[in-house]
Chain A
Amino acid sequence: MTEPDIPSAYVRDKRTAPPSREELRARIPGWGADLDPADRPSHPKLQYPADTGAHWDFPDRQPGSAGRERSIEHAFVTPVFGTAQPLHGLSGSIRRLAYDRFSEGRLAHWLLLIAGDRVDAWGSHLRSFATASPDNPVTETGVRTELTHGGLRSRAGRSDRRHHVLDPLLVAGPWVAGAGFGALAVRRLARVLRS
């Protein structure tokens, strides 16, 4: 390798200079409109906005915070909070334990919340079967778009096909396993009742 062939990383300056401003402006709409780093919206990182629209020093407190779960890294339930899907049942107890016992810095906090999510999902699925609108894994997964939106054609040549094949297993697997355990339990119960 002769000296002019030695790549930029091994010498003082880049071998190839960037295109000129004129060339870039001719090719790219708006090139350089935010060229000055000190004149960009998020510079500096900390800046005091002239007016945020807030007309309070501390916001009015939203009613209903008593008993609302919160991170123990907070001093109190924040003055405004979401009220969607309050804690309930077994999943609620698991989630409350995560909030009451473990800070956000502890892995147990997050693992308990994930466990609560799965219990919530299973409980909801089971409860849905006692309603007029039971969960339907076909309509709720939108899987019919595999036919209407080119499932095979769209994936041709893509490397992510390798893990897409797992998705049906992730969705249907627990249902199949649940049905299997259910059938076993029913058989065992029938045997016990017969004997």
Chain B
Amino acid sequence: MRAMTYRGPYKLRVEEKDRPRIEHPNDAIVRVTLAAICGSDLHLYHGLMPDTRIGHTFGHEFIGVVDEVGPSVQHLQVGDRVMVPFNIFCGSCWYCARGLYSNCHNVNPNATAVGGIYGYSHTTGGYDGGQAEYVRVPFADVGPVKIPDWMHDEDAVLLTDAAATGYFGAQLGEIAEGDTVVVLGAGPVGLIAAQSSWLMGAGRVIVVDHLAERLAKAREMAYAETLDYDEHDDVVVELKKQTDYLGADVVIEAVGAEADGNLTQQLTGPKLKLQGGSPTALNWAIDAARKGGTVSVVGAYGPVPNAVKFGDAMNKGLTLRMNQTPVKRQWPRMFEHVRNGHLTPRQMVTHRFPLEDIAEAYHVFSAKLDGCIKPLVVPGAN
């Protein structure tokens, strides 16, 4: 089969690989029909995630058709069209039993601090991902869901991570009616976090980024006020001014390890790997929240320590809430919101690349060329 393979930092190619096989009785093999590149894939692409092995196939946002099932699979059949959460989870461990699917303890022997994720290095379990023609899906009776007939494929693929993570980020903010919510990052996760903040009763939503096309998208699809940090010497001071010197009731950090806005953090993080990414957005979140407010973190970081302003967080009495998203837990309600048009994930898709052009897709997304907000990957396309 054709599959994206990692060749070292900033380098990828498509190679012929063996089709995955059933390795556990509850496995399924899914033929991928549509995949996406996630902002967190860029951490792997830039060599920021420890134990990313040469030959690894990335991709944790994908949908497809069940091609084969293991002998214990009861809930899926060959031919079912399925959407697969980015989390690999067993459904039965201490964590899964309490709904913490992203923290499953039965799927990742390489680390206890993070659960299993498709195509996301050996630090999350060593599973090849879905930017390929076929993918192994463990615990087929637990993770995948049949795609509803009414759902658009592009909405379905975005619900497997980016959209679910934006919605989850707004929930972590514990938004109360009338709250002022600042969303850092107008990428796919931030855009859905902004839309979701309104659903939870926000009185005001301000989205911060520095890319004009993304800020325009935040105004268009999330009805948000926007702030371009390149236009201000100090974005935190500007946010304080705009919130009458209180700061935001809730800040959602939807950026993670690739954050721009501070050259030193960018150099010591993503470039030189001296810390687990650039914590600029996280530090802005801590500074921009009002005292006693809440900071929700859905931006992803590597496991190496970061230069985070923890003293300010403590002194301000902030509530910090964070996790990888337990995707399937979000879906029933999110399906309603997508069907009703309250959440519109596919509105942020800007580019569609054939799998064979995966190196080009990653470069365009990484360098944010051509107004790219969300690129999809289509196996088998020309």
Contacts and interface: CB of A to CB of B under 8 A. Distances in A.
Contacts of A34: 196, 199-201, 333
B26 interface: yes
A124 interface: yes
Query: How big is chain B's contact interface, by range?
Result: 35 or more
A60 B106 contact: no
Nearest to A84: B128
Contacts of A141: 10-11, 359, 363
Most chain A CB neighbours (cut-off 10 Å) among B106, B305, B342, B369: B369
A84 to B, nearest CB: 4
A104 B26 contact: no
Contacts of A80: 24, 88, 90, 106-107, 116, 138-139
A81 B107 contact: yes
B54 A120 contact: yes
A54 B51 contact: no
B96 interface: yes
A4 interface: no
Contact of B123 (A84, A91, A113, A125): A113
A31 B201 contact: yes
Contacts of A14: 244, 246
A15 interface: yes
A41 to B, nearest CB: 5
B337 A124 contact: no
B11 A107 contact: no
B379 interface: no
B370 A150 contact: yes
Interface stretch (A44-52, A176-184, A185-193): A44-52
B245 A151 contact: no
Given A107-B304, A114-B273, A139-B359, A15 B244 contact: yes
Nearest to B203: A18
Contact of A52 (B51, B92, B126, B341): B92
14 contacts: A9-B290, A42-B330, A52-B91, A52-B142, A79-B90, A80-B116, A85-B56, A113-B50, A121-B9, A124-B54, A140-B11, A149-B364, A154-B368, A155-B367
